[in-house]
Structure 1
Amino acid sequence: MNQPSTQMPPTRMPVAILALAAGCFGIGTTEFVVMGLLPDVAGDLGVTIPQAGLLVTAYAVGVVIGAPLMAMATARLPRKGALLGLMGVFILGNLACAAAPTYGLMMAARIFTAFAHAAFMGIGAVVAADLAPPNKRAQAMALTLTGLTIANVLGVPGGTAFGHWAGWRMTFVGVAGIGAVAGLAVLLLVPKMPALKVQSMAREFAVLKRPQVLLGMAMSAMSAASLFSVYTYITPLLASNAGMAAAAITAALVLFGVGFTLGGLIGGRLADWHQMRAMQGGFVVVALLLVLFTVSSGHMVTAIATMILWGIASFAVVAPLQMRVIDKAHGAPNLASTINHAGFNIGCASGAFLGGIPLSLGADYTTVPWVGAGIALLAFVTALLAERSDRAAPLPAAAE
């Protein structure tokens, strides 16, 4: 006589999340490490520092272009195989950066590397949520994305220091090594998972017409724009307002990165409690902290304290936003999660532009946090509209 299955859902976080976090660590490191190596890269490739700075922009463009392309390319693949393939792209791209003999080839290698970014993080987030206990899905996603925040605390400064010692090309070799370790961890730790059923790519992309999905992506972009409208100019802001030296600013940025990490973990717990309240409350707190920063940035101690809290609040909304997009994108979670990460990069670029507007008009740096606060309040209003949209056209959601 056949007995009913007694297999219980998992109650602990799976160790596979460590492999996904390792991949995110490598991705976060390669995205931003070039900023600390600009003079070395520019001198070696025979370009100006502003031209070398476009390698950061090129990566962001690659993320945005690569997101839908890689989503389509991996749609019918088993998810473990897709993650391994994307790590392969990441490794090859970084090795190509290390070997690039000319500026043009370096630019192409950066764009190619970025193709793995959104797809790995998007599919990784879905895999983490599916492997986790039902009441800890957002926390699992947050732990995966912790690799990205730790990259800003350890990977970027460590890679910069290594590049100054061994040469900038060796930094990219080292990052490729991180990708190899992450790929091996995925191979050994992530269980085999079947591909999601995809009837047609047209139906997959039709999910992007849903108001709940679009509003979720818009909030992700606005959260990034709010952050980078200020973060882009944080060094001159601290130097001019608080009179902080370079060493003190570096320490402040490390503590800011610690705030990112704490915020991501807190946000995962809040999202498992209530996605919408976590988002709405987070946006309001970010806005208030940025208003406070216009005053607190005038003194080193208060500036750093505010930055830590701002870092926590900014990343506390990331897991709720990602979880919401996945929950609302029934039938195409991989695609929606991947494109949501591309939207985050669009927010990064637009935030830097918006934050620079008052400066280009002759205003001082204390006006920049007002821009970030305004964008955060706009995100809060969008969250209210999203909640209204839920009531008008409800969809079943896993974490509401």
Structure 2
Amino acid sequence: MTVIEQSYSSRIVTLRLGILAAGLFVVGTNAFVIAGLLGRIADGLHTTEARVGYSITLYSLIVAVASPIVSIVFASMDRTRLMAGGLAVIAIGTAITAIAPSLAVFELGRVLAAFGGAALVPAATAAAPTLLPPDQRGRALAIAALGFTLATALGSPVGTALAAGGDWRLPLGALAVLGAVVAVVLAVVVRGVPVGPVIGVRERLGALRGRAIVLTLVAVLVLTTAFNVVYIFSAPVTAKATAGSSGLLAILLLLYGVGGIIGTNLSGRLTDRLGSRTVVAIGLSGEAVVLAILPLVEGSYATLAVGFVLWGVLAFGVVVPVQHRLVGIEPKVAGIALSWYSTAMYVGIALAPILGAAVLGGFGSLPGASAVPLVGAALAVIALALFLLGFVRSRQVTAGEKRKPSHDLHTEV
């Protein structure tokens, strides 16, 4: 292959990964944009913010439960058709929410969009590492994960801004159009993704018998809750510094998103060089420290701005290495493991609003808003402990076996 051919091939692969990232951006924005539109949607549908807020939990739980089911039912389906079809369903569901005349129709659209997300997320996450050689899996996962990062950094703030200049239906309508466009582009450009062997229900459930996989998935659930419990309630957490200004809060969230983009980009290369264990240990321990400090500086906007950037770098810096770990534990069931990853992630998203609302009621001598980051920090530490426990078994040796050389331990995924 000539240099020109190699360059062309590399660009095509990057384009395909970018399209997968765009699809995940649609899913992620669909999950988070509602949080910034709660009041407007509640007024428009003549209901309460709490009822509309439940749609976040509803959406996340459906994606969590349906992802492994969709992976089983459509195991032999062409990956391109599955992903494009999932995006089309998301677009239709989001369009329904945008024109919903009542809360019932709004929730129907959310449910439909959630099923589309259940089809797309595990398929796209599993497809990404197949587009590059094994030694570049981290880079492939990082590009795909950038979609979720951008959803947090740009999707939710831009959606909120569009609603501020018009109606809450506008950002949802725009998201539906974007989903439809990406579905068509994906169907045309992302072709030849390997399907892999058809795996039965028992084998899929059997993947959960692996101790390392289960511990990693539980760690995903906990770390996702840790992030979302602070992100979703960032308004009360930062209220002393922002004085309730949505504009100042938007800037903080944008800074967080910028940090997330940096963290996602760095984590792919670092994971390929250092391994997932080291990168996750740095990321989660750092995130715990940053979150623990937030209540101490909650009155200083400038300090919070720096903290939000660091938080974004560290929080999103663990996504790729965790996925990398799941892919490497048992490569033959990598697709299954990543579908369970999607389930764990969305369960964490669903639990965060419930936990955060409970903490806001007060925590010991601290007001609820100050306690929220501390709960997030504690959850990050727990997630790190669970993740590292997943390596214990792989390092044990039976009697008569020689211990692995130290350099081998560093190469474990």
- The residue number in structure 2 matching 1:387 is 391
- The residue number in structure 2 matching 1:299 is 300
Residues 96-146 of structure 1, C-alpha deviation per residue, up to 9 Å, x if partnerless? 222333211211220121122244122112211110233221121111121
Determine whether 1:313 maps to 2:317: no
372, 376, 379: which is aligned to 1:372? 376
Q: Secondary structure at the match of 2:194?
A: coil
Residue pairs, 1:333-344, within 5 angstroms? 333-344=334-345
For residues 242 and 161 of structure 1, what CA distance do their matches in structure 2 show?
Answer: 17
How many residue pairs were aligned? 393
Contact 2:288 2:377 in 1 (8 A): yes
Shift of 1:185: 2.1
Contact 1:93 1:112 in 2 (8 A): yes
Counterpart residue type for residue 344 of structure 1: M
Residues 174-193 of structure 1, C-alpha deviation per residue, up to 9 Å, x if partnerless? 11211122112212321222
- The residue number in structure 2 matching 1:97 is 97
- The residue number in structure 1 matching 2:194 is 194
Q: Secondary structure at the match of 1:331?
A: helix
- The residue number in structure 1 matching 2:50 is 50
Contact 1:230 1:352 in 2 (8 A): no
Counterpart residue type for residue 345 of structure 2: F
- The residue number in structure 2 matching 1:38 is 38
For residues 241 and 99 of structure 1, what CA distance do their matches in structure 2 show?
Answer: 37
Residues 282-322 of structure 1, C-alpha deviation per residue, up to 9 Å, x if partnerless? 11111111222232323111111011101110110001111
- Stretch of structure 1 that moved more, 89-98 or 16-25: 89-98
Residue pairs, 1:344-355, within 5 angstroms? 344-355=345-356
- The residue number in structure 2 matching 1:262 is 262
Shift of 1:61: 1.9
- Stretch of structure 1 that moved more, 270-279 or 325-334: 325-334
RMSD (Å) for aligned C-alpha atoms:
2.6
Q: TM-score, normalised by structure 2?
A: 0.87
- The residue number in structure 2 matching 1:25 is 25
For residues 411 and 144 of structure 2, what CA distance do their matches in structure 1 show?
Answer: 19
- The residue number in structure 2 matching 1:3 is none
Shift of 1:399: 7.0
Residues 2-44 of structure 1, C-alpha deviation per residue, up to 9 Å, x if partnerless? xxxxx99976753201110111111122222222222332233
For residues 399 and 127 of structure 1, what CA distance do their matches in structure 2 show?
Answer: 22
For residues 411 and 76 of structure 2, what CA distance do their matches in structure 1 show?
Answer: 24
Distance 1:376 1:38, change over 3 A: closer
For residues 313 and 120 of structure 1, what CA distance do their matches in structure 2 show?
Answer: 26
For residues 131 and 256 of structure 1, what CA distance do their matches in structure 2 show?
Answer: 29
For residues 241 and 349 of structure 1, what CA distance do their matches in structure 2 show?
Answer: 28
Residues 164-217 of structure 1, C-alpha deviation per residue, up to 9 Å, x if partnerless? 445333432211211122112212321222321114222122112111111111
- Stretch of structure 1 that moved more, 102-111 or 357-366: 357-366
Distance 1:238 1:208, change over 3 A: same
- The residue number in structure 1 matching 2:360 is 359
Shift of 1:358: 4.2
- Stretch of structure 1 that moved more, 185-194 or 370-379: 185-194
Q: Secondary structure at the match of 2:332?
A: coil
Q: TM-score, normalised by structure 1?
A: 0.90
For residues 175 and 410 of structure 2, what CA distance do their matches in structure 1 show?
Answer: 37
Q: Secondary structure at the match of 2:187?
A: helix
Shift of 1:331: 3.2
User: Structure 1 regions of 5+ residues with no counterpart?
Assistant: 1-6
Residues 230-270 of structure 1, C-alpha deviation per residue, up to 9 Å, x if partnerless? 22322112113664633222211111111111111122122
Distance 1:237 1:25, change over 3 A: same
Shift of 1:224: 0.9
Contact 1:14 1:132 in 2 (8 A): no
Contact 2:31 2:59 in 1 (8 A): yes
Distance 1:105 1:399, change over 3 A: farther
Distance 1:123 1:62, change over 3 A: same
Distance 1:99 1:359, change over 3 A: closer
For residues 39 and 151 of structure 2, what CA distance do their matches in structure 1 show?
Answer: 21
User: Structure 2 regions of 5+ residues with no counterpart?
Assistant: 398-403
